[in-house]
Amino acid sequence: MDLKEAILDPKEGSHRAQANLSQALALNCADKHPIAKNRSILSSGSCCLTCFGSDCHEINFEALNQADLLAKSTHIVGCLRNNPNFPEPWPAPVPSLDDVGYLVDAYNRTYQAALSGDHIKIAERNAVSKQLIEKLKKVAHYLEVIADGNEVILLSTGYDLTHEPVHSRTKTEPGTPT
């Protein structure tokens, strides 16, 4: 099944659609990430569309300083709000835009509080930052699947585009050229 079909099949129930999504994502992870050579175009590029946030992904929000993370995450949420290319609700395990927006707001509050230098407030900011980054990575992979390599659509997300587009793939028989 095509990744996009697994996500968008409207006649499937939520459990069935989630199983289809998981199955389609697993196909892309065969042989330890066969689409890695194409690289992703979101942020600094993840190797595949699997695992939703596992260590194999290289989206590097962690390299941003705290102020830049706040600005970038606020920009991404603003770009995705009412974006006709990515209507909600999004399927599980993709976090909702409201969940991400809530974390951006929480990060803003903890960021401002941590400016005092208080170690507890800095630890709280860092904990929220970690949660926010995890959610942003999960959303990025979903957006990439839906956009199916369309750079114009991906530019509407607010994420940085840095690599060749990765198109959704269908299951192929072993030995079949892709």
Percent of the chain with pLDDT over 90: 51
- Quote the CA–CA distance of 171 and 144 in Å, as a whole number: 18
- Quote the CA–CA distance of 117 and 12 in Å, as a whole number: 51
Given a cut of 70, whether residue 48 has pLDDT beyond it is no
pLDDT at 163: 59
Q: Give the mean model confidence (pLDDT) for residues 32-38.
A: 35
pLDDT at 4: 52
Angle ∠(29,59,146) on CA atoms, nearest 5: 60
Given a cut of 70, whether residue 75 has pLDDT beyond it is yes
Question: Mind listing the pLDDT tens digit for each residue in 91-109?
Answer: 989 999 999 999 999 999 9
Bridge partners of 161, per DSSP, are: 42
| For the chain, domain boundaries | 3-155
Question: Mind listing the pLDDT tens digit for each residue in 135-144?
Answer: 999 999 999 9
Q: Would you say 70 and 152 are in contact if contact means Cβ atoms under 8 Å apart?
A: no
Query: Rounded to two decimals, what is the model's pTM?
Result: 0.66
Q: Give the mean model confidence (pLDDT) for residues 143-169.
A: 80
